[in-house]
Structure 1
Amino acid sequence: MEETMQVSGLSRDQVIEELMTDYGQEVLQLVYTYVHDAALAEDLTQEIFIKCYKALSSYQGKSSLKTWLWRIAINHSKDYIKSWYKKNVDVIETNVLAETLETGDLLEQVVQHSEDDALFDLVMALPVKYRELIYFYYFEEYSIQEIASILSLNKNTVKTRLRKARALLQKALGGNPFDGNTF
């Protein structure tokens, strides 16, 4: 007999399906910021949605479903990072780019792509507590208050860490990051 957990008048299956449709790609991107491996991020994202499905009956409505999902995704990603597997097994990361340059100046696009990759690498090199703030603030465009809620942090802590993350990135960039001296 199917358990029918009602959230906004939807069954458990419908709620999870809606969460996967609405936030699946965002969760995948978030997980990737933690593990730096596309295939592993996909596996962990699947595990996160399974965990959400199983835990849906414990959802108390104290926050939005999206915030609840973010917390599960963040905790699951951090748990993986701390796990024995991560500490003791080397995973070979392959990064396959299949982008087609469509319009505009090819050289401009190559330079822009190179700059984007360099910035992305700098962000990914930040400690997790700074990287997750950069991700939520700049890539997901959440407010300081929303980030504080998602990460269960004080609003001032978020501001301080975000300021520190920016300072670390600025220091790493050291002016023109493509003059050959920074990397």
Structure 2
Amino acid sequence: MQITTTVNGTEVTRDVEPRLLLVHFLRDTLGLTGTHWGCDTSNCGTCVVLMDGEPVKSCTVLAAMTEGHEVRTVEGLATGGTLDPVQQGFMEEHGLQCGFCTPGMMLTARALLDRSPDPDETEIREAISGQICRCTGYATIVRSVRWAAEHPAEAAASDIKAAEEVPA
């Protein structure tokens, strides 16, 4: 079947198998490998992307379900060569260690900050509660999100323009 969706600000049309998962569409069809594939059971949250601004676990969404919707991956966070405050916060506050959960954490944080620009620690922990990090103990992730909340003007926070082009 043919689908047309917007990924990181670029409209793409592709032929896909109806049962193709979004995580595989992004990684294998579009070459956007920033979205990680972890447990394949929706437990770990490493595959989180934004669909119409809301975090979704891309291992539980069919690519066909994105028809007519906007999908944003970690590749779409930076705009015009400028890091999103969430990305900058993860650098400033050392919010990652191995980096496997980081793309999903960053997108969840972006959605939280778009909805609640000044979240407290409890709100941040609740927002990321659906994602597993086996390295950090979450303290640095929470500090990273707080940093981003305190520095919203450091980058174009919610602009969905692509930092990298989606392959044609």
If asked which structure has higher relative contact order (CA below 8 Å, sep 6+), I would say 2
TM score, norm. by length of structure 1 = 0.28
Highest Rg: 1 or 2? 1
Kindly indicate which of the two structures has a greater share of residues assigned to strand: 2
